[in-house]
Structure 1
Amino acid sequence: MDDAVRVLQSVRRIEQCVELYSKRLSQLHHITTPQLVALMTIAKIGPCSMSAIGKAIFVSPSTVVGIVDRLEEKGLVLRMRDTQDRRHVRVSLTSKGEQLLDQSPSALPEGFSLALQALTNDERQSLVISLEQFAQLLEAKVPN
Structure 2
Amino acid sequence: MNDAVRILQSVRRIEQCVELYSKRLVQLYQVTTPQLVALLTIAEMGACTQSAIGKAIYLSPSTVVGIVDRLEEKGLVQRARATQDRRQVYVHLTDKGRELLSLSPSALPEGFSLALQMLSAEERATLMVTLERFTELLEAKVPTPGI
TM-score range, shorter chain: over 0.9
In angstroms, what is the RMSD of aligned CA positions?
A: 0.8
**TM-score in terms of structure 1 length:** 0.97
1:8-87, aligned counterparts within 5 Å? 8-87=8-87
2:104 paired residue number: 104
Please report how far the alpha carbon of residue 143 of structure 1 lies from its aligned counterpart in structure 2 after TM superposition: 1.5
Matched, 1:92 2:92: yes
How far apart, CA to CA, are the structure 2 residues paired with 1:55 and 1:80? 19
Percent identity over paired residues: 74
How far apart, CA to CA, are the structure 1 residues paired with 2:77 and 2:51? 15
Please report how far the alpha carbon of residue 84 of structure 1 lies from its aligned counterpart in structure 2 after TM superposition: 2.1
Please report how far the alpha carbon of residue 105 of structure 1 lies from its aligned counterpart in structure 2 after TM superposition: 1.6
1:142 paired residue number: 142
SS in 2 for 1:79: strand
| Structure 2 residue ranges without an equivalent (≥5) | none
2:7 paired residue number: 7
SS in 1 for 2:80: strand
How far apart, CA to CA, are the structure 2 residues paired with 1:92 and 1:26? 21
SS in 2 for 1:87: coil
Q: Cα deviations across residues 99-120 of structure 1 (Å, max 9, x unaligned)?
A: 1000132111100001011111
Please report how far the alpha carbon of residue 132 of structure 1 lies from its aligned counterpart in structure 2 after TM superposition: 0.1
SS in 1 for 2:86: coil
How far apart, CA to CA, are the structure 1 residues paired with 2:2 and 2:86? 54
SS in 2 for 1:105: coil
How far apart, CA to CA, are the structure 2 residues paired with 1:89 and 1:43? 16
SS in 2 for 1:130: helix
How far apart, CA to CA, are the structure 1 residues paired with 2:121 and 2:48? 33
Count residues with an aligned counterpart.
144
Please report how far the alpha carbon of residue 85 of structure 1 lies from its aligned counterpart in structure 2 after TM superposition: 1.8
Partners of 1:49 and 1:91 within 8 A in 2: yes
How far apart, CA to CA, are the structure 2 residues paired with 1:96 and 1:67? 16
Please report how far the alpha carbon of residue 47 of structure 1 lies from its aligned counterpart in structure 2 after TM superposition: 0.3
How far apart, CA to CA, are the structure 1 residues paired with 2:29 and 2:100? 9
Partners of 1:80 and 1:90 within 8 A in 2: yes
